[in-house]
Structure 1
Amino acid sequence: MNATMKPLKEYNIQFVGLKLGKHHFDYQIDNKFFEHFEYDEFNDVNIKVDLGFEKKTTLLELHFQASGMVNVNCDTTNEPYNQKIKTDFDLVVKFGEEYNDENEDILIIPHGEYEVNVAQYIYELIVLSLPAKRIHPGIADGTLQSDILKKLEELSPKGLEEKEKTEEIDPRWNTLKKLLTDK
């Protein structure tokens, strides 16, 4: 996390005041959340995060479930589309001598801490749930009409072959080809 960024306070869970057992937190994630992380690859965001939070005597167990959509631009056509998101993540919070988040699913916080901030985990959960290549669903089913797609089709090996067939071959090439085959 950027050193100058203050943690988002509404994502602090003060577990000291919670009874042992299961608790539930809901978060509605939108563009403002990602602006805080200076992440601007989403045009629009509408994601609900359900956080199951279990307080045990020696540790905390967190189960994040995120579902909804982000509007992103297609890597091929740059056309915006809605990418569905459905993902989950488990985190165990333990207590130790010093803060340590090197292990991705275990967070160690110092003894005496009374709250945990879950914003960074929600951010990573959503960003990492996106496919590596963002492809508009209209490409696969043929419903997306785009100038870029038409150009890509023309430039594809199949498109170039068809172009060559339709263009009249200069007769001088035929003479050259004849020289090559008459060896």
Structure 2
Amino acid sequence: MRDLKEYTIPFIGLKLGEHHFDFIVTNKFFEHFEYDEFINTDIKLDVLLNKKTTLLEFTLDFKGDVGVHCDVTNEPFQQPVEGNYHFIVKFGEEFDDENEDLLIIPHGSYEVNIQQFIYESIILSLPTRRVHPGIENGTLKSDILDKLEELSVKAQNEDIESQEGTDPRWDSLKKLLNDK
């Protein structure tokens, strides 16, 4: 996979100390990684680079919204996403990215690409189950929700009990529970 040039930070001419970089992450960024679960993306990313004599410290702070589909109803909604990630870049004999919080780049390097760290930190900050906020507060009206409610086990059990009444065998078992 090729590197995206806009997420490559040249550090060779920078003075020691803190440096800020601002990015806007859009769907084009995620398409580069062949990740197509987002409808639209608008994430503001602030990168803080603290350059020291023997290493580089990066802190990624991001906040924004991604358009996703609800896992229950498949209705689209805007999922807020925010978080931060801290990692260190050191210099060594050869490139090594085995450790998730430490990147080793060869001596003589003059720039570092942080696109993989951005991608992973945003994806991992999303909830594993994406539920439309309208479902949680009861304001979402959807045909799928109506059908799910109709087909739920609880609704079917209530229909059976209302049609037949309760089974007398269960009544005698319930008495055993109450006789404690």
Do both proteins adopt the same fold according to a TM-score greater than 0.5, normalized to the shorter chain?
yes
- Paired with 2:83 and 2:152, the residues of 1 have a C-alpha distance of 35
Compute the displacement of 1:125 (Å).
Answer: 1.0
Q: Name the residue aligned to 1:25.
A: 21
> In the alignment, what sits opposite 1:156?
152
Give me the whole-angstrom Cα distance separating, in 2, the residues matched to 1:136 and 1:111. Answer: 48
- Alignment length (residue pairs): 170
Structure 1 stretches of at least 4 aligned residues deviating more than 6 Å after TM superposition: none
Counterpart among 30, 39, 44 of residue 43 in structure 1: 39
- Please name the residue that 1:6 is paired with: 2
Deviations 1:101-152 (A, max 9, x none): 1110110101111100011111111111110111111111001111111121
> Can you give the 5+ residue segments of structure 1 that lack an aligned partner in the other structure?
170-176, 179-183
**8, 12, 21: which one aligns with 1:16:** 12
Corresponding residue for residue 108 of structure 2: 112
Deviates more, 1:143-152 or 1:86-95: 143-152
Distance 1:47 1:20 in 2: 28
Moved more, 140-149 or 40-49: 140-149
| Structure-1 residue corresponding to 2:120 | 124
- Whether 1:146 and 2:111 are equivalent positions in the alignment is no
- 1:135 corresponds to which of 110, 131, 135: 131
Q: Deviations over 1:42-67 (max 9, x none)?
A: 00100000000010000000000010
Could you tell me how far apart the structure 2 residues matched to 1:151 and 1:121 are? 41
For residue 93 of structure 1, what is the amino acid of its counterpart?
A: V
For the residues of structure 1 that align with 2:157 and 2:147, how far apart are their CA atoms?
A: 14
Q: Secondary structure at the match of 1:16?
A: coil
CA separation in 2, counterparts of 1:73 and 1:156? 22
Query: What is the match of residue 173 of structure 1?
Result: none
- Give the partner amino acid of 1:130: L
CA distance in 2, matches of 1:129, 1:155: 33
Q: Which amino acid aligns with 1:54?
A: N
Question: 1:76 matched to which residue of 2?
Answer: 72
Q: Percent identity?
A: 59
- Which residue pairs with 2:82 in the alignment? 86
* Residue of structure 2 equivalent to 1:174: none
Give the unaligned 5+ runs of structure 2.
Answer: 169-180
Distance 2:111 2:119 in 1: 18
| Deviation sequence 1:25-57 (CA, Å, 0-9, x none) | 000011111111111000010000000001000
Aligned-residue RMSD, C-alpha:
2.0
